[in-house]
Structure 1
Amino acid sequence: MPTIALLGTGLLGEAIGCRLLERGVTLRVWNRTPEKCEPLLERGAVLIDSLDGSAKGCDAVITVLRDGPVSAEVIAELGDLDAACCLPMGTMGISESRQLELQVQGQQGVYLEAPVLGSKAEALKGKLLVMAGGDASVYQQQLPLLKLLAEEPKWMGPTGRAAASKLALNQLIASLTHGYSLALRLVQASGLEVERFMEVLRPSALYAPTVDKKLERMLSHDFSNPNFSTALLRKDLRLFVHEASLAGVNAEALEGLVELLTCAEGTSLDAGDYSGLHALTAGSFD
Structure 2
Amino acid sequence: MKISVLGIGLMGKPLAKRLLEADHSVIVYNRTISKALPLEPLGAKVAQTPLEAIQGSEVLILMLTDANAIREVILSPETADNLQNRTIIQMGTIAPDESRNIQKAVEKQGGQYLEAPVLGSIPQAKEGTLLVMVGAKTSQFEEYKPILKQFGSQPQHIGEVGTASALKLALNQLIAALTSGFALSLGLIERQGVDIDKFMGILRESALYAPTFDKKLDRMQQRNFENPNFPTKHLLKDVNLFLNQAEENGLNTEVLQGVRRIIQQTIELGLSDQDYSALFSAINTEK
Instruction: Please say if 1:236 is aligned against 2:238.
Output: yes
Equivalent residues in 2 for 1:124-135 (5 A)? 124-135=126-137
Q: Does 1:278 align with 2:277?
A: no
Q: CA deviation at 1:84?
A: 1.5
**Post-superposition offset of 1:268:** 3.1
Conserved? CA contact 1:115–1:162, under 8 Å: yes
Distance 1:54 1:183 in 2: 48
SS at match of 1:222: coil
| SS of match in other structure, 2:27 | strand
In the TM superposition, what whole-angstrom CA distance separates every residue of 1:129-169 from its partner, at most 9, and x where no partner exists? 11000211111111110011111001100111000011011
Q: Structure 1 CA distance, aligned partners of 2:237 and 2:28?
A: 25
Alignment partner, residue 13 of structure 2: 14
Distance 1:190 1:284 in 2: 15
- Pair 1:220–1:283, CA change in 2 (3 A): closer
Of all paired residues, the percent bearing the same amino acid is 41
> Take 2:46 and 2:131, find their aligned partners in 1: how far apart are those partners?
27
More divergent stretch after superposition (142-151 vs 49-58):
49-58
User: Contact conserved, 2:266 with 2:281, CA < 8 A, in 1?
Assistant: no
Q: Aligned partners of 1:140, 1:51: CA distance in 2, in Å?
A: 27
Amino acid at match of 2:108: G
3-state secondary structure, aligned to 1:156: strand
Q: What one-letter code is carried by the residue in structure 2 that aligns with 1:269?
A: L
Q: Deviations over 1:99-136 (max 9, x none)?
A: 01001112211000011111221111111111000211
Check the 8 A contact 1:217/1:275 in 2, yes or no.
yes
Amino acid at match of 1:72: R
1:63-74 alignment to 2 at 5 Å? 63-74=62-73
Picking from 102, 105, 114, the partner of 1:103 is 105
**1:283 CA drift (Å):** 4.7
The change in CA–CA distance for 1:44 and 1:177 in structure 2 (over 3 A counts) is same
Q: Deviations over 1:51-86 (max 9, x none)?
A: 226423523100101111211221114322131210
Q: Cα–Cα, structure 1 residues 39 and 214, in superposed 2: closer, same or farther, change >3 Å?
A: same
- TM-score (normalizing by structure 2): 0.95
| Distance in 2 between residues matched to 1:189 and 1:54, nearest whole Å | 54
Q: Within 2, Cα distance between the matches of 1:60 and 1:155? A: 19
Residues 1:87 and 2:77 aligned together: no
Q: Structure 1 residue 266: deviation in Å?
A: 4.4
| CA distance, structure 2, for counterparts of residue 282 and residue 203 of structure 1 | 25
Partner SS state of residue 105, structure 2: helix
Give the match for residue 220 of structure 2: 218
Q: Quote the residue 2:160 is aligned against.
A: 158
CA-CA distance at 1:90 after TM superposition: 0.6
Partner Cα distance (1:130, 1:166) in 2: 10
Q: Which residue of 2 aligns with 1:195?
A: 197
Q: For this pair of structures, how many residues does the alignment match?
A: 284
Give 1:4's aligned residue.
Answer: 3
The residue number in structure 2 matching 1:34 is 33
Match of 1:23 in 2: 22
Task: State which drifts further: 99-108 or 219-228.
Answer: 99-108
Tell me which residue corresponds to 2:178.
Answer: 176
